[in-house]
Structure 1
């Protein structure tokens, strides 16, 4: 079963979320969270920090990631690990895989015409809010 991750990076003030505009399928043209494949034998947290650095330039010294939840898609033979973190200070995110931008949290992240993941982004944001894990 192939593993993937998605990483929710909030700014220090917790009022913006790092998003990317997908340049390729699946979800080409839609906004998504950053993330990628977990390599065979790679620990999930290590993969999350690696993908975060590769796609955004944000490193382990900039943010502490928390493993929030997982999704298992049995019919597609894959699973997705979800991580969230709050930046310790202002960081300029830069990468060339997808167009990166900071979204304010007042958006309708359940809108499947704008956001990838069939509403999962909205669900994940609500779970992070409910847990309060990044407020500590």
Structure 2
């Protein structure tokens, strides 16, 4: 079963979320969270920090990632580990794979015409909002 991760990276004030505009399928043209594959034998948290650095230039020096939840897709033979973290300070995110941008949290992240993941992004964000105090401690 192939593993993947998605990363919710929040601004220091927890008012904005780092997103990318997909340049290729699946979800070409839609906004998505950053993330990628977990390599065989790689710990999920290590894969999360690796993908974050590769796609955005943000490293473990800039934030602490928390393992929030997992999704297992038995029909597609894969699982997704979900991580979230709040930046300790403003950081310039830069990457070549997809266009990166900061979105405020007033968006309707359940809108499948704008966001990838069949509504999962909205669900994940709501889980973080319900546990916001955990992230403010970092």
TM over 0.5: yes
Tell me by how many angstroms 1:12 deviates.
Answer: 0.3
Alpha-carbon separation, structure 1, partners of 2:27 and 2:115:
8
Aligned to 1:78: 78
Q: TM-score, normalised by structure 1?
A: 0.99
Q: Structure 1, unaligned stretches of length 5 or more? A: none
Aligned to 1:52: 52
Could you list the structure 1 runs, at least 4 aligned residues long, displaced by more than 3 angstroms after superposition. none
Q: TM-score, normalised by structure 2?
A: 0.97
Tell me by how many angstroms 1:134 deviates.
Answer: 1.1
Superposed CA RMSD in Å reads: 0.5
Paired residues, number: 136
Aligned to 1:105: 105
- What does the per-residue CA deviation read over 1:38-67, in whole Å, with 9 as the maximum and x for residues that have no partner? 000000000000000000000000010000
Q: Structure 2, unaligned stretches of length 5 or more? A: none
What is the 5 A alignment of 1:107-122? 107-122=107-122
Aligned to 1:65: 65
Alpha-carbon separation, structure 1, partners of 2:136 and 2:89:
14
Tell me by how many angstroms 1:34 deviates.
Answer: 0.1
